[in-house]
Amino acid sequence: MTDSQFRDLHNVKIILKYDGTRYQGWQIQPRGRTIQGELTRVLSLLDHRAVTVHGAGRTDSGVHAEGQVASFLMEREFEPGRLRDAINGNLDPDIRVSAVEPVDESFHARYSATQKTYKYRVCMGPVASPFEYRYVYHFRSTLDAARMRDAAAVLQGRHDFSAFTDGDSEASDHIRHLRSLEVEQNGDTLTIVAVADGFLRYMVRTIAGTLIDVGRGYRDSESVLTALKQRDRRLAGPTAPAAGLTLLRVDY
C-alpha cells in the first residue's frame, strides 16, 4: 500500500465483548467460525472491500472477552455510533462492539498495547448456575485460596515463562513481566486475575491450572518455583479449561 493510499483510509479502534463458546477462538481458521472472521465479514460488507482486522490478543477456542480491542482501516467514513450499530446489526448477539473510536494511523491493536488483564473464574460449589456455567470452570470441590496466593507470589515479576506455555508457541522469546497475579474468593467463586505486558499461548490457563493444583494440595509453592526456574512445561500444572478465561481489558 502506498502512502497516498494509506492517507485515504481511516484507522479505527473498537472495543468488543464476546461469549467465545461457539467460536474457534479469535484468529481466522480454515474451518469453523472465529471472532476475527465474523468481524472481517461484516466490515468488508460495510466498506465494500476486503478489510483486515487486527486484534489485541488471540484468544483461544471457547475463551471470552469483556474488553478485547481490534483495529482496522476503512475507506468509508462513519460516525462512531453509527458504525458501532452497523457492525452489531450484522453480528450474532454473542459478539458486541461496545465502542468505536477513530485513531491515529500509527495505532495498532496488538503492537500498541502496553498491558493486558485476564481473569480466570472457578466455581467451587456442587452446582454451577445455568447463568454462569459457560464462564467458569466448575471444579465441584473446595480450593485453599491462601496456598494459591502464596504460589501466585512466586510467579510475579519478569521471568521466562517457558514452563507455562504451549511448546508450539510462535513467540520469539518467552520472557514476560507478570505485573500482578491475584487470587480472590467470593463465596463459592474463586477468581484469578493476571496482569502482564503480554501473555504467551495458554499462559494464563496453565498458570490457573497450576494454582488450582496448589489449591487442592497436589503441589506447593516450591514446586511452582522449580517449574519456573527450570522452564520445563512438564513440571507445571495442567492447562485449565477455556470456559473460565476472559480477556478483561487491554491498556495502551
pLDDT at 167: 66
Phi, psi of 195 (to 5 degrees): -125, 130
List, for residues 93-136, the tens digit of each pLDDT value: 999 999 999 999 999 999 999 999 999 999 998 999 999 999 99
Q: Which of 3, 8, 19, 60 is catalytic?
A: 60
Q: Which of 211, 208, 216 is nearest to 242 (CA)?
A: 208
Position 110 scores a pLDDT of 96
Distance CA 115, CA 198 (A): 6
Beta bridge partners of 119: 193, 246
User: Percentage of the chain with pLDDT > 90?
Assistant: 92
Q: What is the mean pLDDT of residues 68-73?
A: 98
The pLDDT, as a whole number, for residue 6 is 44
Whether 60 is catalytic is yes
pLDDT of residue 172: 81
Q: In this predicted structure, what is the pLDDT of residue 166? A: 86
Q: Do 3-102 and 115-251 fold alike per CATH?
A: yes
pLDDT at 2 > cutoff 80:
no
Range 61-82 average pLDDT: 97
CATH 3.40.50.300 fits 115-251, yes or no: no
pTM (2 decimals)? 0.93
**Every domain of the chain and the residues it spans:** 3-102, 115-251
Q: Rounded to whole angstroms, how far apart are CA atoms 134 and 137?
A: 8
What pLDDT is attached to residue 7? 54
Q: Which three cell numbers stand for residue 151?
A: 504460589
CATH code for residues 3-102: 3.30.70.580
pLDDT for the residue numbered 171: 74
pLDDT on residue 168:
61
Residue 42 has pLDDT above 90, yes or no: yes
Q: Determine the pLDDT at residue 5.
A: 42
Distance in angstroms (rounded) separating the CA atoms of residues 36 and 54: 8
Distance CA 83, CA 80 (A): 5
pLDDT digits (tens, 9 = 90+) for 170-226: 678 999 999 999 999 999 999 999 999 999 999 999 999 999 999 999 999 999 999
* Res 1 pLDDT > 50: no
Averaged pLDDT, 229-245:
97
Phi, psi of 35 (to 5 degrees): -65, -45
Bridge partners for 126 per DSSP: none
Residue count (the chain): 252
